[in-house]
Structure 1
């Protein structure tokens, strides 16, 4: 295959006229995928974004048994029905599939890449956009999480902390080596909640990510948590933010862990806050599995996951009267409306707010 017959990622550069393909249909199909992947990489998108999009397109192709220049909107209708009714995927998952397929078709029908002309030359037909407003799921509400996913109550948070600490004591009394891992897990559970962190954010923490806050000396060396692996947006690098400690117990938990637990790991000489027995770094999957074990032990809903601790952090700060903009900055949301989605403010807080407003109105009328 010769390069230079057309602009980068275009049909002529990927399936040049000067080359006779033994299997032109398969060659064009693979070239379309590789061209689209290259286009996404040029936009700075990560493999974690690119691969699922390619996967959704491949699944659609396998379902239809046809190549992209043969696809129709009716094919998408049948595929969507099969996924929803036959395989029972969630609507949010189907929306993700639709989004990937729509972007792929946008690439194919864009005249700058020349796929329509090249397919007409090779196959006598051309790709079309099969995704439109009448056969794809709209995003009509802000929050699509399952109803069972909610902030934990303060009693549930305390029960989780107590249960995790009890696991440490049980392991130590039995003389098992696993007490270090149990203590490490109990600490990161508390730190997720104490700073309102996402799973990847807490897993990627280093010791040097904590520092003093000159305005809050009571937190000692742990007044500020520097988050370096925040959620990326549209191909950008991970976003950074500083999260201020708000609960005094968080600094005591970290100090105790660093003094008594972390030195017992082979990777203690490295930067990772949560080293493993093999000198690596605790994974996000490990955090998820450990939380699920505690949750099931306590008989909590199976829909709850570690991210619910972040929801709890937002809710409890708002309940305690912290400024909503401060809370928004702490969790790294660009818009206050996003923070609002995380808030499951309790009935007591609503009643206190109502009582304050009514007392003020009654005072104005007397």
Structure 2
């Protein structure tokens, strides 16, 4: 029965034994468990290593156990990164890695934290400091180029092929920009294409096998097939 002085603590059943006493030691154990969950989900060793380093840098910058971090702490760290000239994408990564770790604590360690340290977990990342895909310091959005401007651009690239001292780099650039334009690929996706990824006989138009498609930071690349429309073949 839940009375006026009782409430449910999230985070699973408390383990038997002595509750954690040192917050830093306990946080280190939580980090190890969080990293182990990445490996259990099949993340690549490179991803695990990079994200572990990012998480450690984030927690060091915050300067207090994750369950004691406030919205003001997040603002401070993000502000310091901005003053240091770090890119908006870097600042977003710091916020996202902490948010993921805090979610893990809520799901797995909330009961232990509240019982041992008297802190009820509330994520300090809110609508005012949450990471955005476009930073506030991004340049003003420009209108897309007109069809005439695009035609002019590709005519310039074709002319450059005919006059370039080295044919291969100029032809490569033309093919790369044409692929970006017609297939809608991201620049990194197009740059990672190889000859074996081009399948002219698949489907009515042929397809590109984008093996290194963009995915979530924690789930890795997502391969997909892209039809070669509009004469991309």
In 2, distance between residues paired with 1:140 and 1:185?
Answer: 28
In 2, distance between residues paired with 1:187 and 1:181?
Answer: 10
In 1, distance between residues paired with 2:57 and 2:222?
Answer: 29
In 2, distance between residues paired with 1:63 and 1:43?
Answer: 27
Residue from 97, 100, 112 that aligns with 1:100? 97
Counterpart for residue 59 of structure 1: 57
1:204 CA displacement = 2.1
Structure with larger Rg: 1
1:108 CA displacement = 2.2
Q: Does 1:185 align with 2:173?
A: yes
Residue from 187, 191, 209 that aligns with 2:198? 209
In 2, distance between residues paired with 1:90 and 1:165?
Answer: 35
In 2, distance between residues paired with 1:155 and 1:184?
Answer: 23
In the alignment, is the contact (CA less than 8 A) between 1:29 and 1:68 conserved in 2? yes
Counterpart for residue 5 of structure 2: none
Counterpart for residue 116 of structure 1: 113
Give the TM-score of the pair, scaled to structure 1: 0.44
Residue from 68, 82, 90 that aligns with 2:66? 68
Q: Residues 51 and 163 from structure 1, CA distance in 2 versus in 1: closer, same or farther, beyond 3 angstroms?
A: farther
In the alignment, is the contact (CA less than 8 A) between 1:56 and 1:100 conserved in 2? yes
Structure 1 unmatched runs, 5+? 1-10, 18-23, 173-177, 216-222, 252-366
Counterpart for residue 245 of structure 1: 229
In 2, distance between residues paired with 1:53 and 1:180?
Answer: 37
In 1, distance between residues paired with 2:61 and 2:214?
Answer: 33
In the alignment, is the contact (CA less than 8 A) between 1:71 and 1:128 conserved in 2? no
SS in structure 2 of the partner of residue 110 of structure 1: helix
1:60 CA displacement = 3.2
Q: Does 1:32 align with 2:16?
A: no
In the alignment, is the contact (CA less than 8 A) between 1:194 and 1:245 conserved in 2? yes
1:243 CA displacement = 0.9
In 2, distance between residues paired with 1:32 and 1:201?
Answer: 35
In the alignment, is the contact (CA less than 8 A) between 2:67 and 2:102 conserved in 1? no
RCO greater where, 1 or 2, for CA within 8 Å and sep 6 or more? 2
- Give RMSD over aligned pairs: 4.2
Structure 2 unmatched runs, 5+? 1-13
In 1, distance between residues paired with 2:50 and 2:120?
Answer: 21
Give the TM-score of the pair, scaled to structure 2: 0.64
Counterpart for residue 235 of structure 1: 219
In the alignment, is the contact (CA less than 8 A) between 2:74 and 2:125 conserved in 1? no
In the alignment, is the contact (CA less than 8 A) between 2:35 and 2:48 conserved in 1? yes
1:133 CA displacement = 3.0
Higher helix share: 1
Q: Residues 207 and 59 from structure 1, CA distance in 2 versus in 1: closer, same or farther, beyond 3 angstroms?
A: closer
In the alignment, is the contact (CA less than 8 A) between 2:69 and 2:124 conserved in 1? no
